[in-house]
Structure 1
Amino acid sequence: MFILNPLRLLPALLLAAVLHASAQARDYTATAPDGVTLAVHESGNPQGVPVIFIHGLLGSHLNWSEQLASPQLQRYRLITYDLRGHGLSAKPSGTEAYSDGRRWAADLQAVMQAAQARKPVLVGWSFGGAVISNYLAAYGDKAIAGAVYVDGVIELKPEQITPHPEIYRDLVSDDLRTHLDAINTFLRLCFQKQPAATVFERLLANAAMASWDMQRGVQSMTVPAAEGLRAASVPLLLLYGEQDALVRTEPAIARAVALNPRIQSKRYAQSGHAPFLEEAQRFNNDLAAFIDQRR
């Protein structure tokens, strides 16, 4: 008698899950209070716990490829969006559209409303952490289930940011070659272990799409972290690469915990600024565990 080995079905079941998630993918837009249109991408289980991924400076939803393609995370409702001045979202003119942190908070609120995401978990990488801090300061934490800072910018303070004055100067240069070389250097600093060439080239092209006005404006963006983090009562988790070349891990974690002693943290010894790509499987495991604890 033929006995079916259930282990042989596992690859097919995983493939079916991924294909099902892909069938649920959809793109739409959200509109910020100041009229900026934000590109939103959604995949995964539409009935699952909503998770909103917020990319970093010069990024887009493409940064989260290892999470969006993960069979482990397909049971959640995976929502990404391109920040103002990035990717497929609108790029308003003038630095004033980017220097006020409340605009970025309002963008996130607009995405949550457009997605009708009830009690989402927020996941912010690098500059995306500053967006979360601004959101908490402006709206509090009643509408979210928790937040994860991934090598997140707690505040734009010198003691928390590794100094690269020549890079940030050249990012806003009017000379195209200088500007593009600075983008290349900045992106390489994101990784202790450099990604595959095809991945890096895609992220580099993506970074070159970012608004120059945005890059000028965010260097003086307001981030009232004390107001946001201190009052937060939902679970907050910090995931940082110990080899980070852009954010100073120790001072950033220390500042966050000083503001809110309930904050938990984990460190990735083999990662730089982007553990969600450099140690993707471990990151996905930690993220899934955090989300499941919120249910």
Structure 2
Amino acid sequence: MIETYTVEGGGGVPLSVMAAGPRDGPAILFIHGFSQSCLCWMRQFEGALAERYRLVAFDLRGHGVSGRPERTASYTAGRLWAEDVAAVIAGSGIDRPALVGWSYAGFVIGDYLRRFGQEGIAGINLVAATTLIGTDEVPALLGQGLLANSPTMCRDELAANIAATRRFVRACSARPLPPDWHETMLAFNMTVPPFVRRALFSRAEDFDDVLSSIRLPVLLTHGTADDIVLPAMTDRIARAMPAARLSLYDGIGHMPFVEDQPRFNRELAAFVDAT
């Protein structure tokens, strides 16, 4: 049974949270990516993972049904993202969770570690994650599914925005998703206002210092056919963390947790058990 509740994040922003699984089970905190929602993790929440682990996910600020502050600074201040994660951990009553961060969530996890350190975390699974933004190096690490569509996704013109968001959603998987899943994903992507999307891309961050300091177990997950965040991004992260375990999904796109749910859930469970 999935529970929903609200916690107060950084700067007082209300964050919508969902949770499932035994309260005394090992905790996993899922953090979604750019223009998404905690609903992207439903194949984990409705599967066997929820029988053994305490699963928690939340809508990032500006996303889903969480609060949408209008000031750009509400999305560019790393302190606020870090406080959001800390608030969800505290408000959910979970102890030393493993963090699972998809795509843009690489920044969110970096913000948390930079401010609060590693002591309260059991391990980190970075899933097609980004840890670098706003530098000349970035375009070579991103795919056309993002580069070609994100500028229009940030525009206020609704028809153009919808068309670009549809292309972006299609580009998130290497093969077409089932129609019901595709429609749901398009719907929660469109709940994110253009001003939030613009603010997310206005950051300039390099988390190399954080990556090189991590002493926790780390699992790096990436699909070889990803056209949103290229595998080269994870290769770059792996060089900064030579002890991390790398798991590549052949022929899979940006969403291995959806496109190959059985393998993803199996590897995540083994990773959490080992931590």
- Runs of 5+ unmatched residues, structure 2: none
Q: Which moved more, 1:163-172 or 1:115-124?
A: 163-172
Partner of 2:241: 260
Partner of 2:141: 160
Return the alpha-carbon distance in structure 2 between the equivalents of residues 167 and 72 of structure 1.
Answer: 34
Shift of 1:101: 2.9
Mapped contact 1:101–1:223 kept (Cα < 8 A): no
Structure 1 residue 56: Cα displacement: 1.1
Q: Take 1:190 and 1:56, find their aligned partners in 2: how far apart are those partners?
A: 11
Counterpart CA distance in 2 for 1:185 and 1:103 is 30
2:267 corresponds to which letter in structure 1? D
CA distance in 1, matches of 2:272, 2:43: 17
Question: Is 1:92 aligned to 2:74, yes or no?
Answer: no
Q: Give the AA of the match of 2:196.
A: M
Task: Name the TM-score, length of structure 2 as normaliser.
Answer: 0.94
> Structure 2 vs 1, CA of residues 58 and 269 (structure 1 numbering), >3 Å: closer, same or farther?
same
Could you tell me which of 207, 213, 226 is aligned with 2:189? 207
Establish whether residue 178 from structure 1 lines up as the match of residue 178 from structure 2: no
1:100 CA drift (Å): 2.4
The 1-side partners of 2:148 and 2:263 are apart by: 34
Which residue in the other structure is 2:257 paired with?
Answer: 276
Percent identity, aligned pairs only, is 33
- 2:207 maps to what in 1? 225
RMSD: 1.4
Q: Shift of residue 82 of structure 1?
A: 0.4
Q: Which moved more, 1:126-135 or 1:271-280?
A: 126-135
The equivalent residue for 1:237 is: 219
Give runs of aligned pairs for residues 56-71 of structure 1, distance below 5 A.
Answer: 56-71=33-48
Cα deviation, residue 188, structure 1: 0.8
CA distance in 1, matches of 2:97, 2:257: 19
Between the aligned partners of 1:67 and 1:199, the Cα distance in structure 2 is: 14
2:33 aligned with 1:51: no
Query: Partners of 2:58 and 2:114 in 1: how far apart?
Result: 21
- How many pairs are equivalent? 270
Deviates more, 1:268-277 or 1:158-167: 158-167
In structure 2, how many angstroms separate the alpha carbons of the residues matched to 1:58 and 1:177? Answer: 17
Instruction: Tell me the alpha carbon deviations over residues 8-38 of structure 1, each in whole angstroms, 9 at most, x when there is no partner.
Output: xxxxxxxxxxxxxx1xx32211112311110
The secondary structure found in structure 2 opposite 1:287 is helix
Question: Which residue of the other structure, out of 99, 103, 118, is the alignment partner of 1:141?
Answer: 118
Shift in Å, 1:133? 1.8
* Greater Rg by CA: 1
- The amino acid of 1:254's aligned partner reads D
Instruction: Give the CA deviation at 1:160.
Output: 1.9
Normalization by structure 1: what TM-score?
A: 0.88
CA distance in 2, matches of 1:94, 1:197: 36
* CA distance in 2: counterparts of 1:136 and 1:183, whole angstroms: 31
SS at match of 1:158: helix
Residue segments in structure 1 that go unaligned for 5+ positions in a row: 1-21
Task: Give 1:151's match in structure 2, choosing from 128, 134, 156.
Answer: 128
Q: How many Å separate the matches in 2 of 1:266 and 1:67?
A: 18
Match 1:129 to one of 106, 123, 129 = 106
Q: 1:74 is paired with a residue of what secondary structure?
A: helix
Deviation at 1:221, TM superposition (A): 1.9
Letter in 2 for 1:162: G
> How far apart are 1:73 and its partner, in Å?
4.0
